[in-house]
Amino acid sequence: MVEYKVKIFLDESGISKEQKLFIMGALLIPTYVYESEYFKDIENYFKSKNNVFHWNKFSDSYKNKRDYTELLKRISPLFDSMRVNFICFHHS
**Tens digit of pLDDT for each residue in 14-68?**
666 666 667 788 999 999 999 999 999 999 998 898 877 765 566 667 677 888 8
| Count of CB atoms situated within 10 Å of the CB of 22 | 15
How many other CB atoms are there within 10 angstroms of residue 83's CB atom? 13
State pLDDT tens for residues 67-92. Answer: 888 888 999 999 999 998 988 777 66
Per-residue confidence (pLDDT) for residue 58, from 0 to 100: 63
In this prediction the pTM is 0.70
Q: Which residues contact 31 (CB under 8 A, 6 or more apart)?
A: 4, 5, 6, 7
